[in-house]
Amino acid sequence: MRFEPEISDSENRGMDVAKAFLEPVKKKFPWITYADLWTLGGAVAVEALGGPKIEWKPGRIDYENDMDVPPQGRLPYGHDKPQELREKFYRMGFNDQEIVALSGAHVLGRCHTERSGYDGKWVDEPTVFSNDFFDDLTTSQWFWQKSPAGKYQFYDDEQDQMMLPSDMALLQDDEFKYWAHTYAKDQKLFFDHFAKAYSKLLELGIHRDSNGIARVNKFARNNL
């Protein structure tokens, strides 16, 4: 996310806030790569907000130019349906259970009208990592409505919480639905599956030797 077109991909809007937040750390410890710093930031944030410990290993390199930047269109959209989520996540090696587990990250934070055009928080306590996203998804009543920026999304009856169409897609497919309901009932299992899937996400594109040391594989770099 340091070069065009990735840096200004509309699906990455708001990332500049998180990147700016970590910049003083980079200034203080210039030897750490951005790829290690940003992935470590994500892992630490989940744990600090009450979530599971995320296995994280160092060794990522930063690209020196835009030659290996992934093309646009690979990131999921908020309006994606089950099949589109599958196409995007399967390409990276994730299965249905992992897609649902990763989506549980939407317990944190919120949507911003000025960034994605979607509006609101998913859960009542958006700074606590829990399985509330699945609990609310599967038990609340959701109403299809336009956000102030004109995007269609789902609101609860008090318009206090929201779901993206891509979140609701987790109830529109039998396999996705099974995992959404399972995680709603079993926070421990969700934490375990989320930790594994997120750690796998943070390792995408990294090739380690038998000692766990990251090595560059030029042929696989563009597969992110």
- In the complex, which residues of this chain contact ligand HEM (CB under 6 A)? 14, 76-78, 80, 85, 102-103, 105-106, 108-112, 115-116, 118, 164, 166, 198
Q: Name the packing angle between helices 34-48 and 187-202 (round to 10°).
A: 170
Q: What is the closest distance, in whole angstroms, from the C-beta atom of residue 97 to ligand HEM in the complex?
A: 13
Give the residue closest to ligand HEM by C-beta.
109
Helical H runs in 29-153?
Answer: 34-48, 82-91, 96-103, 132-139
69 or 120, CB closer to ligand HEM? 120
Token code pair at residue 108: 């944190």
Distance CA 154, CA 119 (A): 10
Q: What is the closest distance, in whole angstroms, from the C-beta atom of residue 109 to ligand HEM in the complex?
A: 2
35 or 102, CB closer to ligand HEM? 102
Residue with tokens 């996400």: 201
105 or 206, CB closer to ligand HEM? 105
Residue with tokens 């766990």: 212
Which residue in 121, 117, 122, 123 sits closest to 148, CA to CA? 117
40 or 111, CB closer to ligand HEM? 111
Q: What is the closest distance, in whole angstroms, from the C-beta atom of residue 135 to ligand HEM in the complex?
A: 17
10 or 222, CB closer to ligand HEM? 10
C-alpha neighbours within 13 Å on the C-beta side of residue 160:
9
Q: What is the closest distance, in whole angstroms, from the C-beta atom of residue 64 to ligand HEM in the complex?
A: 27
Q: What is the closest distance, in whole angstroms, from the C-beta atom of residue 134 to ligand HEM in the complex?
A: 13
- For residues 67-87, one letter each, b for 16 or more C-beta atoms within 10 angstroms of the residue's C-beta and e for the rest, the string is eebeeeeeebbbebebeebbe
Q: What is the closest distance, in whole angstroms, from the C-beta atom of residue 191 to ligand HEM in the complex?
A: 13
Sign for the pseudo-dihedral over CA of 205, 203, 171, 71: negative
91 or 215, CB closer to ligand HEM? 91
